[in-house]
A and B are shown apart, each in its own frame.
Chain A
Amino acid sequence: MFKKAAFLVLLVLSFMACDKNDDDQAQQNTPVSVGFLHSFYEDEVSVSSNTIQYTNGFGTSLSITRLRYLISQVSFTNQDGIKTLVKDYHLVDLSQDNSLTINDILLPPGAYNLKMRFGFTEATNTSSIYPDLNAASWNVPENLGGGYHYMQLEGRWLDPGDTPDEPYLYAYHTISAVQNPGPENTREDTSIEIDLGEITVTQGATQINVNMRIDQWFENPNLWNLSELNGLLMGNYTAQKMMQENGQNVFSLASNMGD
């Protein structure tokens, strides 16, 4: 009993001693969250569904049954050029609400340039080294270059000439582009740097939203014909390069609200 009392008295003294520093720290850093939103042209995409409700730039109707993608190297650079890396990598899964926001970011108020990367760079895309991604079966087999997926976008699509109750399937999977799939393959970095421009962190909670325009994966600059490119894309070097080109303008800042 005496030990408990003594411990708590010490705790009181510690609080008193640390109080000034705590207050200073609280003024310096403020919580920041980065949320991930998704849209298909003007439509918000908030849940995966097998309902065929979107039409891509090629004119193909499709559904989105699964969307997972990897963001890495999330960094804030202040106006003095000091870069703060806040997240090494983050797996976004449309079906998991808790994956749609990166929390636990603390930054001093001010203006920053926000950058992140779609996928892993070649230097960080090392097979098997991320336990949580291994458990999520996010790996790419060695014969396809190894490392990890960048994105899994899946669903069904309709050929206008077919009966509407028998859609086809697509698995738009992006990885490092690989040449010569097999034991002698060579891999090429197709990750995409995302420069979201300037954001302002204000005192209090700051929510930053990043929007992925899913429609752009099928359109700009390569109009995507799902009847030709719908599956088995991981080992298709040309398709991976086209995906990389289409991904250049997929992400943008949706809003920057200080609460």
Chain B
Amino acid sequence: MNGWELFWGFFVANVLGYGGGPSSIPLMQEEIVNHYHWLTNEEFADVLAVGNALPGPIATKIAAFVGYREAGWIGLILTTVATVVPSALALILLLRILNRFRESSVVKGMTLLVQPVIAVMMAGLTWEVGKVSAASIGIWQSLGIAGVSLWAMTKGRIHPAWVIVGAFVYGSLVLSHQLS
């Protein structure tokens, strides 16, 4: 294991993620899957599933799992520190200076401009996870489950965590016979 890579990968993904944890997800996937090969796309999808079924911030949960898997507790500490500390420290140290930038067009423009990039990266990640799903249970079954969960999360107003739990139940009862 390379502790520096663990730290650097998570530092980059989070320091570029403007707009909270979710915008860091595709940046983390880039580092974790494409760059350092700590996880496959299949595993990353599983991490997102369990991460979204549990409460708490998403970025730190992903960091904790990947760090622990690569290098035990030391890895967990490295990835978590890389995720949390730079921005937290910056907030505490720069509080006075930030006040001047809050209403500035500089920060507003940066927050605006990062959104189309994250949207495109998020769409790319969606496509990757779709491919993973189609490879395991076929396109039509994947689309069927996707359709039901899309309805549940938007029109049905069911909380995503419950939709994930529902999928777990459906999978353990129905898909288990198909796959074993």
Q: Do A and B bind each other?
A: no
